[in-house]
Amino acid sequence: MAGVALGGVHSVTAGAAEPVPESLAKAIRDLTSEPRYAHSSFAIQVEDRGTGEVLVDERGDAMSTTGSVLKVYGTSTALHL
């Protein structure tokens, strides 16, 4: 797959019907660069539910400790409804 760097956010669009909107990459950059997150690290991966295609990957394979396991569980449950 071809990856395109969008200011720290990598958009994987090979085979995608539409490229990932720049507005999404900008929203991720804006959020993760806020001063209150200066000592934080982020791992973000967005996949198409239907195809499993990775649309956005910023350290998505990095091992990390989540801020709240319940938030992750609740979000993943909501996405599968």
DSSP string across 2-60: -EEEETTEEEE-TT-SSPPPHHHHHHHHHHHTSGGGTT----EEEE-TTT--EEEEEST
Question: What is the pLDDT at residue 17?
Answer: 57
Whether 28 shows a pLDDT value over 70: the answer reads yes
Could you tell me how many residues make up the chain? 81
pTM of the predicted model as reported, rounded to 2 decimal places: 0.49
Under the banding of pLDDT at 50, 70 and 90, the label for residue 18 is low
Tell which wins on pLDDT, 28 or 68: 28
Question: What is the pLDDT at residue 76?
Answer: 80
Question: What is the pLDDT at residue 51?
Answer: 87
Q: Which residue has the tokens 């938030």?
A: 71
Query: Per-residue b/e over 41-72, b at no fewer than 16 CB within 10 Å?
Result: eeeeebeeeeeebbbbbbeeeeeeeeeeeeee
